[in-house]
A and B are shown apart, each in its own frame.
Chain A
Amino acid sequence: MSESITSVQHQSFYNVRPGFINWITSTDHKRIGLLYFYSISIFFFVGVVLGVLMRLELLNPGKDIMEAQTYNGIFTLHGVIMIFLFIIPGVPAVFGNFVMPLIIGAKDVSFPRINLLSWYLYVIGALFALSTLVFGDGIPDTGWTFYAPYSVKTGTNVTLAVLAAFILGFSSILTGLNFIVTIHRLRAPGMTWFKMPLFAWSLYATAWIQLLATPVIGITLLMIVAERTLGIGLFDPALGGDPILYQHLFWIYSHPAVYIMVLPAMGVVSEIIPVFSRRRIYGYKAIAFSSLAIAFVGYFVWGHHMFTSGMSGPARIIFSILTFLVAIPSGVKIFNWVATLYKGSITINPPMLYILAFIFQFMIGGLTGLVLGALATDVHVHDTYFVVAHFHYVMFGGTGFAFFGALHYWFPKIWGRMVNQKKATIAFYFMFVGFNTLYFPLFIAGMAGMPRRYYDYLPQFHNYNIISTVGSWILFVGFLFMIYNLLQSARNGEKASGNPYRALSLEWQTDSPPTVENFDKIPVVTEGPYEYKD
């Protein structure tokens, strides 16, 4: 074992070199994590407001508050913002940056300057995406999938939106690269692979997907730009291209990207449950390896997005069976999480509530995914509201709730103050009830045959849409109350100790908020991160 290194500075990272310029030029992983957090939060809020407006428009058949073209632009922007600006970077860029180096006992990531560059790329990409609101001939109206040949033909500002996604891709690739090297090289002395916290494992699996899958979407999006601006016939049959080729290239990235979105959230779950159950996590190795299994098998299932595209019969059958296999490792995780509760000594608090809701909602999202993975049933519900409900259950009910759980859990570490538990609990219940009221009826609307991306709908779908829109109001109220409570807690909350939850992982073995170099002495690890005795 190497000797411990003594830090010269024992000061909170907030107090050293304050000021806006020092923050946006800082290479401290904690500051970069927070830069991501604040920028992501702004875009997430915009995405939420767009979502609430969409639900308002869908309250009644016919026009409620906006024209069809506006609605099409808004659902596209809602998707682009939520996918590329919130859910993909969300957990890894915010909590991965802030917590991961701490949790493996490092002073920073391996390439701090590349880390800062990643944030700048994120901001530039985000500004490109938002600028489509004001520049060019209208908000892109293709949906976040940019399916050709519509995306080649439409007169709206698709080129700018596509370039935004291209730039954001580089932010993702560089973050992935940085995390892989950091996790390989900078773990604290004694932290073997199997003594590494599962949050780091999940980020490690995610990072490989970011690094290997993202370039495909970058190339594909550039091909769209080439087609739009130079008229090179790649995807538009009128120019000699093939629209199905676009779908293959798009989903070769975008399906693995689903696991970029959800794996880090699963890592968060694996951290929070043992701490508040006061028990060693059940099936550590099974959870760690299932992350790798998901990352690997996830590359080979993209075709299930295209079961009705006219793809060949054998291809459909092979993609269907592979899709069912990728469900297994997710199931294994759920069984191990629930087993961790067994014979524990459980405290229910806001982070735990969000995580339990994650398990419940992610299960609904995952199990309805089986309906979409099976050929006969997919043919019926593909491209209907069933799909909309399914991926919101996975992305929002799953990853979104895990993000809020992580935010409440690591709040004392990041801001040095405790969250008001009572208010946080009230906000949680509003969000839980609102979320399920918003999305559950949409499964039924989809099975009844309501296609997605519909500005207007037939009267038989009216009731589902009324319930869903009311749900969006409950959810939005809970969301605003959560923000209010977090802002209040950051200012007036009770001061947090270094380790308020008596947790064993390394991020809690330093001050709250952490000192500039994280640890006065680099810790030496002798046992696993979940060896709770009481």
Chain B
Amino acid sequence: MNPGASNFVQGVDTAFIVILGLSFVLLIGITFFMVYFVIKYSKKNHPVPEDVKDSHKLEILWTVIPTILVLIMFYYGWIGYQPMREVPNGAIEIKATGRMWSWDFEYPNGKRSNILVVPKDKPVKLNLYSPDVLHSLYIPAFRIKEDVVPGRPNYMWFIAQELGEFDVFCAEYCGVQHSYMLSKVRVIDENEFLAWFNKKEDESQQFASIGEQILAQNGCVACHSRDGSKLVGPSFKGLYGTQKNVEVNGDMKKVMADDEYIKRAIYDPNAEIVEGFNKGLMVSYKDKITEDEIKEVVNYLKTLK
């Protein structure tokens, strides 16, 4: 089992121990009787079978006892789970966006990060959003998981109780890069957190230009490579200023990848589909990237020859 590092670990692990413990006893007990009967009453050891009358008592007994056992299991499952939906007042609210195929964490002061940095021993609430398909935010060391559903806000919360870095996975299948949709949660003590929180730039992310930063923060590079390799969308390398074959409403057309094209591709990505790629995998970034930012993106793209 994972190292436990949140306030839910105890409740969840107790439920595991109760359920798996009772299950183990049942499994071993029944298997023992099965094997014992097969040997003791084998044709060799017991050539003449005996009739055994059905017993109502026995039938009731092995209906009622398992019912009690599973209700005990249900109870531990319930009380271990109950606090997961009860967010305490004063929790730090972080907007966690899962998109194909990266995570983005936005803090109350507008600071954004692709790893989740949280203070130890403080309640943290994650408001979950997806702009595209289903994802699921899973932190095994915290024993929590909640689906990130497009069009339907969901949430989760926790108190981190151990310092350190822990894995963050996407647990709901979301397409070709699903198993690479990874992140980390970094638990640091409160003073360190406040220092990090109030610092404008994230020192862990060095960008050559504003354009590159915009692309990284919006998760663009998960699908559009910068080295010419083919991912889910066309590569950024050598894109600007070249001719592209695109499909518009079923007809093939040639277009020039200029400033206007880049803007159309970001705001209305499904109108023109580059040959060899699929429609519907990208959503519009109209609300997320401004026209001024697009100018920076274009300047950056020009450098990717």
Contacts and interface: CB of A to CB of B under 8 A. Distances in A.
B151 A344 contact: no
B4 to A, nearest CB: 10
Contact of B49 (A316, A343, A380): A343
Given A154-B175, A374-B73, A359 B34 contact: yes
Contacts of A380: 12, 16, 140, 143-145
B195 interface: no
B143 A534 contact: no
A236 B42 CA distance: 60
A355 B270 CA distance: 54
Contacts of A328: 63, 66-67, 70
A356 B35 CA distance: 9
B51 interface: yes
Interface in B1-49: 1-2, 8, 11-12, 15-16, 19-20, 23, 26-27, 30-31, 33-34, 37-38, 41-43, 46-49
B134 A149 contact: yes
Interface string B76-89: 11111100110000
A457 interface: yes
Contacts of A379: 12, 81, 84, 143-146
Interface in A88-147: 137, 141-143, 147
A421 to B, nearest CB: 14
Name the residue among A68, A147, A155, A345 with the largest chain B CB count within 10 angstroms: A345
Given A327-B70, A373-B77, A375-B77, A451 B170 contact: yes
Contacts of A153: 132-133, 280-281
Interface in A295-336: 308-310, 313, 316-317, 320-321, 324-325, 327-328, 331-332, 334-336
A305 to B, nearest CB: 11
Contact of A449 (B71, B78, B167): B167
Contacts of A382: 145, 171
Contacts of A427: none
Given A68-B179, A342-B37, A371-B20, A383 B152 contact: no
B52 interface: yes
A527 to B, nearest CB: 13
A320 B78 contact: yes
Interface stretch (B54-62, B112-120, B198-206): B54-62
What interface size band does chain A fall in? 35 or more
Contact of B176 (A69, A137, A236, A375): A69
A230 interface: no
Interface in A433-462: 447-449, 451-458
A522 interface: no
A238 interface: yes
Contacts, number: 269
A242 B59 CA distance: 45
Contacts of B48: 345, 534
Contact of A360 (B2, B34, B52): B34
A70 to B, nearest CB: 10
B207 interface: no
A338 B15 contact: no
Contacts of B81: 316, 374-376, 379
Contacts of B157: none
B149 interface: yes
Nearest to A330: B66
A371 B2 CA distance: 17
Contacts of B67: 325, 328
A343 B281 contact: no
Contact of B23 (A156, A317, A367): A367
Interface residues of B, number: 83
Name the residue among B11, B70, B278 with the largest chain A CB count within 10 angstroms: B70
A423 interface: no
B261 interface: no
A326 to B, nearest CB: 10
B42 A137 contact: no
B251 to A, nearest CB: 18
A306 to B, nearest CB: 8
Contact of B73 (A141, A286, A324, A342): A324
B31 A363 contact: yes
A348 B79 CA distance: 46
Contacts of B235: none
* Interface of B (DSSP majority class): mixed
Contacts of A453: 173, 178-179
B41 A346 contact: yes
A283 interface: yes
Name the residue among A154, A344, A453, A456 with the largest chain B CB count within 10 angstroms: A344
Contact of B30 (A137, A152, A338): A338
Interface in B87-142: 132-134, 136, 138, 140-141
Contacts of A338: 30, 33-34, 37
A72 to B, nearest CB: 6
A79 to B, nearest CB: 11
A192 interface: no
Nearest to B31: A360
Nearest to B177: A68
A279 interface: yes
Contacts of B77: 320, 373-378
Nearest to A309: B147
A504 interface: no
Contacts of A149: 132-134, 150
A449 B178 contact: no
Contacts of B287: none
B295 interface: no
A4 interface: no
B174 interface: yes
Interface string B147-184: 10111101000000000000101111111111110100
A244 interface: yes
A413 interface: no
A237 interface: yes
A284 interface: yes
A341 interface: yes
A370 B59 contact: no
B50 interface: yes
Nearest to B142: A380
15 contacts: A147-B173, A149-B134, A150-B134, A238-B150, A238-B151, A335-B30, A341-B34, A343-B49, A346-B42, A360-B31, A360-B34, A376-B77, A376-B79, A383-B171, A454-B178
For the complex of A and B, 9 pairs with smallest distance between CB atoms: A237-B151, A374-B77, A155-B278, A376-B80, A449-B140, A375-B81, A367-B23, A310-B154, A341-B37
Interface of A: 68-69, 72, 137, 141-143, 147, 149-150, 152-156, 236-238, 241-244, 277-280, 282-286, 308-310, 313, 316-317, 320-321, 324-325, 327-328, 331-332, 334-336, 338-339, 341-348, 356, 359-360, 363-364, 367-368, 370-371, 373-380, 382-384, 447-449, 451-458, 532-534
Given A279-B50, A356-B38, 11 more contacts: A242-B151, A308-B145, A310-B146, A310-B152, A360-B34, A370-B73, A371-B16, A374-B73, A380-B143, A449-B141, A451-B170
